[in-house]
Structures are given as structure tokens and as C-alpha cells.
């Protein structure tokens, strides 16, 4: 099993994305976990193999090296042979290189002194209603995450065991070097994964990783005025770091559901409101309930046309993390009646008989232009 291709072990294609890799790993890990198969040497061997495969393929740099060189990329000396991890003479150059490139080369924030790997950041997409965005709310979310092992308290070592010892592959440096032609390439030690130490007696619950897969529930405060794409950061709620390293962060991305009445643009709310043709002709007032749970009375001027927009100050969305609110804009849609009683039809016929054309200047002007174009009398 040691020579089995990593992609075959995880039952995925070589083009699989990160989400597919993680999902497949979790599924297989649940099936062959030693706790579910006590005393089965094959299950334990497969569990170790898929962990090795996952540790490689989840890291973009390791995966690229594996795709090119296979497992030879992680053997002592790497492709082309060369320098082992205990070599000296390049530490000064290595320190300068890492200080210049920082996180781009996998250092900086993601790695602590001694090679402790900071836990990965996680993303959670949360869908809320426009009303929730207006008023804010407290939301509970459940996330699958690697948490610090309760048995060993994140150390990865078995209780009463020998604990950690210096990695013999890299002599405690956490890195190994390989010579490729005229160049010396430095990479993370494949034995200790950059920590500089290995666990002599690993914890049986986490297999020496110091963390286990679990599901946890978090309370997230949705602030008033959030918009589509707003990102909320929960520090330290991402994946736990290996063997006591700091945890990553959890980022909540907000998605606002489409509303049945209102459309939003920043802090402005838009609504199309139908009114009767008599109200449009004679004027009046309409009442529009807002998201602020207030009923707003809006005056309709006589003779208003479809498409006219009326602004209600202060009835829009609140400003995120600030003071004040936007406006509500009501777009008038004049509705032509479709069901008329005999008396209503009679009254409208009487009205039509008294029309001079001045009542609807736009119509009169349009047909006047057409007559002028064709020379009609």
C-alpha cells in the first residue's frame, strides 16, 4: 500500500479540487478508522496511508511536487540526490529568503517558530433574509472542523509516553535541502512536516496529529446593515493547528436572499407600487409598509405617470457599523382596470365623450407628430 498512488488511495481524479479531496478523505477515513476496526492491521495501514496522501494533496506546493516527481519528491535528497536535512552552511541564506518572501513561501503567519503549522482558515456561506440584514440577528452555525484532541490536549503525544523527539530526517531544522544542478532547493521535511520533532508515542485518539475531526456550533452576530458579500471574521475558530499550533480563522460570508417586494442598492430600497388610474389622475396618498416595521404615507400628486419615482427619506437600509439610514424609493405603476361594472363603463363613456385631447398631452403630441409626418389633415 505504501507504493499506491495518492489519488488512487483517496479515490479521486488527478484534476480534483480541494473540496473534493477533503470530502473523499473524510469519507474513507471514517470507514477505515482504527476505532471502528479494532485489531485490524489492514485498516490501520490504510488509515495511515490515506492520511499521508491527504497531507500531501491538500498542500498546493506538495501536490505540485508530487504530480511532477511522485513520492521521490519527498525522499531524502529529493530529485537528483544531494543535501540532507542535517547539512549546514545555508542557514543564513534560508533565513533571509524566508524573511523576504514570508507567507508566499509558506512562512510568516502560517508557520510559527520551530515549524509549528498554523491551522487552516475556513469559509462558511450563510444565507439570511433582507429583514435579518435590516435588523441584525444572532445566528447559530454548525461547521465541520479539525479541533484540538481532548485526549492529549493537542500535543499529539500519548499520556505517559515519551512525547516528542528530534526528527532524524532534518535534524530538528524542519527543512531538508536537495541539489538540482547548480541550484539548492529547500523544502519542508516530509517526516516531521516542518515541526522539527516527531512523536515517539503518538496519542491513539488522534494518531499523533494533536487534532481530530469534529462538528461544533458557533453563535454568530449578524450586524445591522450587512450586505451581500459582507465577510465576518471569527478569530481562532478555524481548523486547529497541528500539535498545539494556533488555530486558523473562520470567515462567514453573507448572502442576502431576494426579497418579494424590495430591491436593494447600498442603503437605498426600491419598490414598485401599483396604484389605480383614478388615484393617478386625481392624486391622493398610499401607505407602504417598510422594513423598519413602520407604515409610510406617501403623497401621490395628481396626474402622476407610470415610472415616476417618489422618495421617502430615512426609510431605507441602515448604514453598516454606522449611524443613519438610507431612503426608500417608490416607483409608481399605474394599473389599468380590467374588471368594470356596467355603471363604471357608463361613467367612463361619459368621460370619453367630454375629452378634448388636452387631458393627455403626451398622446396628443405623439399622434400630432404622426399626422405631420404623413401630411394627414
- 32 annotated to a ligand binding site: no
Handedness of CA 99, 64, 202, 167 (dihedral sign): negative
- 206 annotated to a ligand binding site: yes
DSSP codes of every residue in 51-112? HHHHHHHTSHHHHHHHHHHGGGGGSTT-TT----TT--S-HHHHHHHHHHHGGGGT-GGGB-
Read off the C-alpha cell for 188: 519542508
Instruction: Please state, in angstroms and rounded to a whole number, the distance separating the CA atoms of residues 335 and 337.
Output: 6
DSSP codes of every residue in 147-178? EE-TTTTTS-BPTTS--EEE-TTTTTSSEEEE
Handedness of CA 288, 294, 296, 297 (dihedral sign): positive
Q: Which residues pair with 271 in a beta bridge?
A: 330
Tally of CA atoms within 13 A in the half-sphere of 83 that contains its CB: 20
- 170 annotated to a ligand binding site: yes
- 149 annotated to a ligand binding site: yes
CB 172 within 8 A of CB 197: yes
| Residue position matching grid coordinates 508515542 | 201
Give which of 44, 37, 51 is closest to 9, Cα–Cα.
51
φ/ψ of residue 165, rounded to 5:
-140, 160
| Residue position matching grid coordinates 503567519 | 109
* Residue positions forming the annotated binding site: 149, 152, 167, 170, 189, 192, 203, 206
* Residue positions forming the annotated binding site for Zn(2+): 149, 152, 167, 170, 189, 192, 203, 206
Amino acid at each position: 500500500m505504501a507504493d499506491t498512488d495518492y489519488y488512487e488511495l483517496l479515490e479521486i481524479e488527478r484534476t480534483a479540487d480541494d473540496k473534493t479531496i477533503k470530502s473523499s478523505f473524510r469519507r474513507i477515513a471514517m470507514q477505515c478508522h482504527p476505532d471502528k476496526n479494532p485489531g485490524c492491521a489492514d485498516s490501520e495501514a490504510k488509515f495511515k496511508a490515506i492520511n499521508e496522501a491527504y497531507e500531501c494533496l491538500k498542500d498546493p506546493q506538495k501536490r505540485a511536487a508530487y504530480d511532477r516527481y511522485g513520492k521521490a519528491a519527498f525522499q531524502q535528497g529529493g530529485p537528483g540526490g544531494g543535501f540532507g536535512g542535517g547539512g549546514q552552511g545555508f542557514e543564513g541564506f534560508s533565513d533571509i529568503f524566508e524573511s523576504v518572501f514570508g507567507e508566499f513561501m509558506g512562512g510568516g503567519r502560517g508557520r510559527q517558530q520551530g515549524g509549528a503549522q498554523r491551522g487552516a482558515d475556513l469559509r462558511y456561506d450563510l444565507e439570511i433574509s433582507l429583514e435579518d440584514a435590516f435588523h441584525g440577528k444572532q445566528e447559530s452555525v454548525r461547521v465541520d472542523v479539525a479541533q484540538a484532541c481532548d485526549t492529549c490536549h493537542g500535543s499529539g503525544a500519548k499520556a505517559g509516553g515519551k512525547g516528542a523527539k528530534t526528527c532524524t530526517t532534518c535534524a530538528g531544522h524542519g527543512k531538508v535541502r536537495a541539489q538540482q544542478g547548480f541550484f539548492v532547493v529547500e523544502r519542508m521535511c516530509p517526516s516531521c512536516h516542518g515541526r522539527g520533532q516527531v512523536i515517539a508515542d503518538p496519542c491513539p485518539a488522534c494518531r499523533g496529529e494533536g487534532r481530530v475531526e469534529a462538528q461544533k456550533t458557533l453563535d454568530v452576530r449578524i450586524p445591522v446593515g450587512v450586505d451581500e458579500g459582507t465577510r465576518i471574521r471569527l478569530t481562532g475558530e478555524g481548523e486547529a493547528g497541528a500539535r498545539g499550533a494556533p488555530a486558523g480563522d473562520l470567515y462567514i460570508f453573507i448572502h442576502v436572499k431576494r426579497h418579494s417586494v424590495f430591491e436593494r442598492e447600498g442603503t437605498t430600497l426600491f419598490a414598485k407600487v401599483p396604484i389605480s388610474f383614478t388615484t393617478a389622475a386625481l392624486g391622493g396618498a398610499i401607505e407602504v409598509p417598510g422594513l423598519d416595521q413602520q407604515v409610510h404615507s406617501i403623497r401621490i400628486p395628481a396626474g402622476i405617470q407610470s415610472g415616476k419615482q417618489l422618495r421617502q427619506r430615512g426609510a431605507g437600509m441602515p448604514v453598516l457599523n454606522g449611524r443613519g439610514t438610507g431612503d426608500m424609493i417608490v416607483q409608481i405603476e399605474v394599473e389599468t382596470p380590467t374588471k368594470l361594472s356596467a355603471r363604471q363603463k357608463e361613467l367612463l363613456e361619459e368621460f370619453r365623450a367630454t375629452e378634448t385631447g388636452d387631458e393627455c398631452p403626451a398622446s396628443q403630441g405623439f399622434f400630432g407628430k404622426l399626422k405631420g409626418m404623413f401630411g394627414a389633415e
